[in-house]
């Protein structure tokens, strides 16, 4: 398992941050590993909504089906799954002055033979976390 977490501040209020992050299709704007992220169902974004995500990290491409598992005024949880891994992306949002404090946590659990990649993945995700914070902060501050 590889877990990486970062906390940072942004200008928009929590309700704006949560509404934006609930739509995982926006990952193309803020996630440096995401190449493409397309909604696979229709209707309002709500718990159960799903996206097909294509990512490329450290030269390796992967595809996951993400589901919005939790949505509240202070938390967004998307879980991506494929045969080799489960990626849980949790975002906790709290008021911070006139803006928000955001804690982004990504937990990846590898399945089967891919479990051997956990130590290397942790190092890669630690480096990627800094890039994610930079891009996510920029995207949120444009709202």
Handedness of CA 57, 62, 63, 66 (dihedral sign): negative
Token readout for 12 is: 């928009």
Does the structural domain 2-141 have CATH classification 3.30.530.20?
A: yes
Provide the residue ranges of all domains of the chain, joining segments of one domain with +: 2-141
What is the residue-level pLDDT of the chain in tens, covering all 143 positions?
A: 788 999 999 999 999 999 999 999 999 999 999 999 999 999 999 999 999 999 998 888 999 999 999 999 999 999 999 998 999 999 999 999 999 999 999 999 988 765 555 655 656 667 778 899 999 999 999 99
Q: Whose structure tokens read 């909604």?
A: 39
* pTM given for the model: 0.92
């Amino acid at each position: 398992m590889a877990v990486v977490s970062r906390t940072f501040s942004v200008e928009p209020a929590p309700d704006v941050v949560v509404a934006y992050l609930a739509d995982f299709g926006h990952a193309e704007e803020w996630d440096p590993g995401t190449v493409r992220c397309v909604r696979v169902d229709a209707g309002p974004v709500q718990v159960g909504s799903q996206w097909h995500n294509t990512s490329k990290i450290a030269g390796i491409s992967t595809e996951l089906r993400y589901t919005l598992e939790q949505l509240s005024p202070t938390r967004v949880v998307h879980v991506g799954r494929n045969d080799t891994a489960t990626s849980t992306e949790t975002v906790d949002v709290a008021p911070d002055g006139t803006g928000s404090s955001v804690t982004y946590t990504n937990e990846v659990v590898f399945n089967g033979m891919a479990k051997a990649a956990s130590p290397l993945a942790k190092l890669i995700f630690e480096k990627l976390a800094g890039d994610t914070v930079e891009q996510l902060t920029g995207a949120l501050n444009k709202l």
